[in-house]
Structure 1
Amino acid sequence: MRIGPHLLKNNLVVAPMAGVTDRPFRQLCKRLGAGMAVSEMVTSNSLLYGSAKTRR
């Protein structure tokens, strides 16, 4: 599977999920065979209003 210039080893992609896909989770998914694991989903409203939890 190819996404732009990036060639993935397979078509298994971990979707962005708020509050779930932290770094250890993504590393585990890659180790178990995911072709791509993306960072955690961040909502723009939290960034606009300066939520402390979002900044962490």
Structure 2
Amino acid sequence: MNTKLSILFYIKRAKTTSQGKSPIYLRVTVDSKRTEFSIKRFKWDTKSLLKPFSRAFTN
């Protein structure tokens, strides 16, 4: 039995707080069934996203 698993972390910019923090979400997909939830962590500066790739980077 083969099972396909996919894990994706992403920043949900639509839920940015008044302090400029955006929550980090996790999406788990198993055999085309998705579940997503917050991991209770925040990215402080959403301006540090690479716009062409929409990926976060740190120094």
Higher helix fraction: Structure 1 or Structure 2?
1
Instruction: Return the structure number with greater strand share.
Output: 2
> Could you tell me the TM-score, scaled by structure 2's length?
0.21
User: What TM-score does the superposition give when structure 1 sets the normalisation length?
Assistant: 0.22
